[in-house]
Structure 1
Amino acid sequence: MTPQEFSLLLISVLISVAGQFFLKMGAIKLGRVHAGNAISHIFSMMTIPELLIGLTCYALGAVAYILLLTRVNLSVAAPAVSIGYIFSVLLGYWILQESISLVRLLGLSLIVTGVILVVWRK
């Protein structure tokens, strides 16, 4: 993967992770969904700025990913975007005060190792 391709990958991943973060913040504002409030929650989603920002980030991340796919094989690009999991866990830890167990850290290290092996060129 060239530096330009890696940059496109990183842009796509970071924008998508920002989308996940904003969707979580909007979901917190929205509150828990249950059978009695599901329909009203669906309509409320259109009025929560964080949800709209999150969806916009996802759209921009998809554009960057499509640009990446014009340059990189799907068999490389698709697994490589899994590095977004690492960023999501770190955001959850630092901003949302979520815990990271030892097992989760092991899983994240396996993801990083897998991405390195997938994008590695001899």
Structure 2
Amino acid sequence: MTPSEFGLFLISILGSVAGQWLLKAGALKLGKVNASNLFSHILGIITTPELLAGLTCYGLGAIVYILLLTRVKLSVAGPAVALSYVFSMLLGYFIFREPVPFIRMVGLGLIICGVVLVISKN
């Protein structure tokens, strides 16, 4: 992966992770959904700034990912996107104070090792 391809890859990942963070922040504002508040939650989705910003970040990340796919094989780009799991877990831990069990950390370490192997040249 060339430096410019790696830059596109990182921008795509960061757009996706920013989108996830904003969607979580917006979802916390909405509260839990149930049968009695489903309609108001659907309306809330289109009026909550964090949710709209999160969807925008996802869209921009997808556009950059498409640009990346014009330059990199899907068999490399697809698995490499798994790094978004790592960044999402870090956001959950540091921003939303979600616990991270040891076994999850092991799994994330394996993901990182796998991505390194996938993007490295033979």
Superposition TM-score tier, normalisation by shorter sequence? over 0.9
Q: 1:39: how far off?
A: 1.7
Structure 2: 5+ residue runs without aligned partners? none
Q: Deviations over 1:34-67 (max 9, x none)?
A: 1111122111111100000000000000011000
Q: Normalising by the residue count of structure 1, what TM-score does the alignment of the two structures yield?
A: 0.97
Aligned-residue identity in percent? 61
Partner AA of 1:112 in structure 2? I
Partner AA of 2:84 in structure 1? G
Partner AA of 1:21 in structure 2? W
Partner AA of 2:5 in structure 1? E
Q: 1:75: how far off?
A: 0.8
Q: 1:26: how far off?
A: 0.2
After TM superposition, the structure 1 = structure 2 runs for residues 1-122 of structure 1, keeping only pairs within 5 Å, are: 1-122=1-122
Question: How far apart in 1 are the matches of 2:77 and 2:68?
Answer: 7
Question: How far apart in 1 are the matches of 2:44 and 2:92?
Answer: 24
Question: How far apart in 1 are the matches of 2:97 and 2:89?
Answer: 10
Question: How far apart in 2 are the matches of 1:35 and 1:106?
Answer: 38
Question: How far apart in 2 are the matches of 1:40 and 1:97?
Answer: 28
Question: How far apart in 2 are the matches of 1:83 and 1:70?
Answer: 20
Secondary structure of 1:29 counterpart: helix
Range 91-100 or range 20-29, more displaced: 91-100
Q: Say how many residue pairs are matched.
A: 122
Q: Normalising by the residue count of structure 2, what TM-score does the alignment of the two structures yield?
A: 0.97
Secondary structure of 2:81 counterpart: helix
Structure 1: 5+ residue runs without aligned partners? none
Question: How far apart in 1 are the matches of 2:45 and 2:24?
Answer: 12
